[in-house]
Amino acid sequence: CSRWEEEKKEDGVKWMQLEHRGPYFVPPYEPLPKDVQFYYDGKPLKLSLATEEIATFYAKMLDHEYTTKEIFQNNFFHDWRKEMTSEEQEIIKDLDKCDFGEIHKYFVDKNEARKALPKEEKQKLKEEADKIQEKYGYCILDGHREKIGNFKTEPPGLFRGRGEHPKMGMLKKRIMPEDVIINCSKDSKIPEPPEGHKWKEVRFDNTVTWLASWTENIQNTSKYIMLNPSSKLKGEKDWQKYEVARRLKDVVHTIRAQYRKDWKSKEIKKRQRAVALYFIDKLALRAGNEKEEGETADTVGCCSLRVEHIQLHPQLDGQEHVVEFDFLGKDSIRYYNKVSVEKPVFKNLQLFMKNKDPSDDLFEHLNTTFLNKHLQDLMDGLTAKVFRTYNASITLQEQLKALTNPEDNVAGKLLSYNRANRAVAILCNHQRSIPKTFARSMQVLQEKIDAKKKQVEEAQEEVKKAEDEFKDTKDAKAEVNVEKKKKLLKRLEEQLDRMNIQAMDKEENKQIALGTSKLNYLDPRITVAWCKKFGIPIEKIYNKTQREKFAWAIDMAGEDFEF
Quick: pLDDT tens for 37-93.
Answer: 999 999 999 999 999 999 999 999 998 888 999 999 999 999 999 999 999 999 999
Query: CA distances (Å), 432 to each of 65, 154, 396, 443, in order?
Result: 15, 23, 20, 20
Residue 370's Cα: distance from chain center in Å?
29
Strand 98-99, strand 201-203: pairing? unpaired
**Domains in the chain: how many in total?**
4
Residue 84's Cα: distance from chain center in Å?
36
Answer whether 213's CB lies under 8 Å from 221's CB: no
Give the model's pLDDT for residue 429. Answer: 79
| In a shared domain, residues 98 and 65 | yes
Give the model's pLDDT for residue 176. Answer: 95
Q: Is residue 10 part of a domain?
A: no
Reduce the DSSP state of residue 99 to 3 states and report it.
strand
Q: CA 15, CA 32: separation in Å to the nearest integer?
A: 46
| In a shared domain, residues 316 and 275 | yes
Q: CA 95, CA 99: separation in Å to the nearest integer?
A: 9
Among 355, 381, 407, the domain boundary falls at: 381
**What CATH number does the domain containing 91 carry?**
1.10.10.41
Q: Is residue 387 part of a domain?
A: no
Query: CA distances (Å), 103 to each of 31, 100, 112, in order?
Result: 11, 5, 14
Q: Is residue 332 part of a domain?
A: yes
| In a shared domain, residues 145 and 86 | no
Give the model's pLDDT for residue 82. Answer: 95
| In a shared domain, residues 547 and 420 | yes
Domain of 94 in residue numbering reads as 38-120
Q: Is residue 4 part of a domain?
A: no
Give the model's pLDDT for residue 333. Answer: 82
**What CATH number does the domain containing 333 carry?**
3.90.15.10
Q: Is residue 2 part of a domain?
A: no
Beta strand segments in 58-147, E: 98-99, 138-141, 144-147
Please report the DSSP string for 139-187 in residue order: EEETTEEEEBS--BPPPPEE---SSS-TTTT-EEPPP-GGGPEEE--TT
Q: Is residue 208 part of a domain?
A: yes
Q: CA 525, CA 242: separation in Å to the nearest integer?
A: 10
Reduce the DSSP state of residue 432 to 3 states and report it.
coil
Mean pLDDT of the region 273-290: 89
**What CATH number does the domain containing 130 carry?**
2.170.11.10
> pTM for the full model?
0.74
pLDDT band at 12 (very low <50, low <70, confident <90, very high): confident
| In a shared domain, residues 256 and 363 | yes
| In a shared domain, residues 302 and 413 | no
Mean pLDDT of the region 469-476: 82
Q: Is residue 278 part of a domain?
A: yes
Among 346, 381, 416, the domain boundary falls at: 381
Please report the DSSP string for 434-457 in residue order: PPTTHHHHHHHHHHHHHHHHHHHH
| In a shared domain, residues 547 and 412 | yes
Mean pLDDT of the region 20-35: 93
Q: Is residue 457 part of a domain?
A: yes
Answer whether 381's CB lies under 8 Å from 373's CB: no
Looking at the chain, the whole-number percentage of residues with pLDDT higher than 90 is 62
H or E element that contains 319:
strand 319-329
| For residue 255, pLDDT beyond 80 | yes
**What CATH number does the domain containing 517 carry?**
1.10.132.10
Give the model's pLDDT for residue 1. Answer: 41
Residue 488's Cα: distance from chain center in Å?
42
| In a shared domain, residues 440 and 364 | no
| In a shared domain, residues 405 and 526 | yes
Question: How does pLDDT run across 396-448, given as a tens digit for each residue?
Answer: 999 999 999 888 888 889 999 999 998 898 888 788 778 788 888 899 999 99
Q: CA 238, CA 553: separation in Å to the nearest integer?
A: 10
Query: CA distances (Å), 466 to each of 417, 458, 477, in order?
Result: 40, 12, 10
| In a shared domain, residues 109 and 125 | no
Among 103, 120, 137, the domain boundary falls at: 120
Catalytic residues: 521
